[in-house]
Amino acid sequence: MHTQAKASLGLNWINRFAQLGENFFTRLRPTPLPDVRWVSCNHGLALEMGLPPDWINRPGVLEGLSGCAQIAGSDTLASVYSGHQFGHWAGQLGDGRAIYLGEAQTDLGNLEIQLKGAGLTPYSRSGDGRAVLRSSIREYLCSEAMHALGIPTTRALCLTGSRGIVYREEVERAAVVTRVSPSFIRFGHFEHFAAKGDTASLRTLADFVITHYTHLLEESEELEAFENEALRTQITQNPYALMLYRVTRKTAKLMALWQCVGFCHGVMNTDNMSILGLTLDYGPFQFMDAFVPDHICNHTDQGGRYAYDQQPNVAYWNLYCLGQALLPLIGDKDLSVECLDIYKVLYPSFKQEIVLRKLGLSKLHSIPTDVAQELIGKLEKVMSLQEVDFTIFWRTLSTALSHFSEKNPGTNTLTTHSAEFKEINALFSNTRAQSAWHEWFAEYLKLISSGSEDLAEISGMMLDANPKFVLRNHLGEAAIKSAQRGDFSEVQILLKILSTPFDEHPEFQSYADTPPDWASSITISCSS
């Protein structure tokens, strides 16, 4: 039951989205769950936000963040959006189980706070408005893991559980994730009003994004990708074209970041694409174990539309949907296409920049683009020939160079068969991969030696660019199994490790190992 007294999070609420007008959302109350309890609190995020230290102990906060009581200052609502799902227009969707509490001023800037799994909304369609503990743990942990990896994402403040039951393939426990983000506006919000021919609302929404989030979308020297000066001027003078370009740029960067940690989203429908270029809506995602470029992480995605190597193209396709929706505002088809097609320049250049950083090849090495592209292409080929573990490969390469520099201070002559490279060489055990690996490795070591930087510095950079820990499916699964038995300690351990994924954490070495055999039987689908 909703209690009368409102819980306070000690925040100042501004709720700007709630002022947009009622054709953007429906006001409602969350539906309470029985016997709610904390599963995990993200104290690190709470501290960053500047929440009062006693926030979790304040009366009514547990209930408030589980949808069972009101939080002072909140203005609860569900927003309406539409979207393309698996390549087809799906019509109206909307927040079917996420309820906006409001937007608060925090030390991280203004943040919207949402309760995912807090009950039915007018947009629930055939769903029950709930989220299961299993998928809520995955979202809670993964969003923090992504943040710690330096990848733009929505975040999670806490996770609460309940004795309430929900029905999926089997009976499961309900949970609520408290998500935070500067905004949860999706491509699908724009598609919704465009499809209805409601240009006034479309403009209101675009103006809202431009007014409130330009500081998050713009970047210095951002139009440099366009060689044509006249085109740059044209874009600058059209606020909606400029917004589309900025979203394109943010999305291109996000895709490059995902690819470089082996992240597969699993359901890149346009309603799951953030207008701010954030990773949004964690469902059947996966960090790849073995490097298989066409790996499909979502068992519902039988055609592989959202396979790992398809993601950058899908993002471009999704951006076209956004561009189409914004066309009535931009008013110039050619200009829209220019703002979208620059993706083909931006994405590969972001990816190259990140991969070179992972390889320890900084600007000082001044590697020409064609050499870099060839080096990266060959490496991906070798990695796929071996189907080497993605995260272990990159981390082992970094530690190999680090060990070499420790043992051979000042030496710049590196040969593939040095004792310190035993471990990395051993990763390429199959005969087809072995010779290709040695050829690539020799070429790479030559490039590394050609720079003026010290090897210790280079390997230090690499250890900061290649995480030791990612949320592998089997790690999440173990935490889920314990949590389903009422033991949340594994969630806490994972939160700690994944919040500092570049640290060694020697006591948690096994969390960095290849998956056990049973991991191959884990199936992750859209069911959540």
List active site positions: 271
Rg of the Cα trace of the chain? Answer: 24
- Listing DSSP states for 312-331 in one string gives HHHHHHHHHHHHHHHHHHH-
94 touching ligand AMP, by CB under 6 A: yes
Residue 93: contacted member of Mg ion, ligand AMP, none (CB under 5 to 8 Å, by partner type): ligand AMP
Q: Give dist(CA 296, CA 307) in Å, integer.
A: 4
Query: Could you say which of 63, 95, 172, 301 contacts ligand AMP (CB under 6 A)?
Result: 95
Among 40, 60, 97, 471, binds ligand AMP (CB under 6 A): 97
Tell which positions 251-290 bind Mg ion, by CB under 5 A: 272, 281
Cβ–Cβ under 8 Å, residues 64 and 70: yes
- The C-alpha atoms of residue 17 and residue 67 are separated, in whole angstroms, by 19
> Segment near ligand AMP (CB under 6 A), from 44-52, 119-127, 173-181, 423-431?
119-127
* Least spacing, CB of residue 389 vs ligand AMP, in Å: 29
Smallest gap from Cβ 229 to ligand AMP, in A, equals 41
Q: Pick from 65, 93, 176, 319: which binds ligand AMP (CB under 6 A)?
A: 93
**Cα(259)–Cα(253) distance, integer angstroms:** 10
Closest C-alpha to 147, from 45, 46, 65: 45
DSSP state at residue 112 = E
Q: Answer yes or no: are the C-beta atoms of 253 and 346 closer than 8 Å.
A: yes
Query: Which of 153, 272, 396, 405 is in the footprint of ligand AMP by CB under 6 A?
Result: 272
Q: Which amino acid, 86?
A: F
Instruction: Name the minimum Å distance from CB 79 to Mg ion.
Output: 12
The nearest distance, CB 3 to ligand AMP, in angstroms, is 25
Q: Which residues from 170-229 bind ligand AMP, rule CB under 6 A?
A: none
Q: Which stretch binds ligand AMP (CB under 6 A): 32-40, 93-101, 240-248, 500-508?
A: 93-101
Contact positions with Mg ion (CB under 5 A) in 350-369: none
Report the Cα 179 to chain-centroid distance in Å: 13
Q: Are 295 and 264 in contact (CB under 8 A)?
A: yes
Of 79 and 310, the one with the shorter C-beta distance to ligand AMP is 79
Among the listed ranges 53-61, 121-129, 346-354, 393-401, the one in contact with ligand AMP (CB under 6 A) is 121-129
Among 161, 182, 283, 451, binds ligand AMP (CB under 6 A): 283
Q: Please state, in angstroms and rounded to a whole number, the distance separating the CA atoms of residues 249 and 277.
A: 8
Residue placing its CB nearer to ligand AMP in the complex, 274 or 386: 274
- How far apart (Å, rounded) are the C-alpha atoms in residues 308 and 264? 5
**Residue 186: C-alpha distances to residues 80, 95, 180, 495 (Å):** 10, 11, 14, 27
Segment 124 to 163, residues that bind ligand AMP, using CB under 6 A? 124, 127-130
Our CB check for ligand AMP shows the closer of 213 and 306 to be 306
Rounded least distance, CB 203 to ligand AMP, Å: 24
Residue 116 CB, nearest approach to ligand AMP (Å): 9
**Positive or negative torsion for Cα 224, 228, 233, 236:** negative
| 134, interface contact from Mg ion, ligand AMP, none, CB < 5-8 Å by kind | none
Contact positions with ligand AMP (CB under 6 A) in 229-268: 267
Contact in structure between 270 and 362 (CB atoms under 8 Å): no
Ranked by CB distance to Mg ion, the top (closest) residue is 281
CA neighbor of 255 nearest in space, from 315, 190, 179, 187:
315
Closer residue to Mg ion (CB): 123 or 390: 123
Q: How many residues bind ligand AMP (CB under 6 A)?
A: 16
CA 505, CA 515: separation in Å to the nearest integer?
18
Q: How far apart are CA 32 and CA 129, in angstroms?
A: 11
CB under 5 to 8 A by kind: which of Mg ion, ligand AMP, none does 155 bind?
none
Reported as half-sphere exposure (CB side, CA atoms, 13 A), residue 25 has a value of: 24
Residues contributing to the site for Mg ion (CB under 5 A): 272, 281
Residues that bind ligand AMP (CB under 6 A): 93-97, 123-124, 127-130, 267, 272, 281, 283, 526
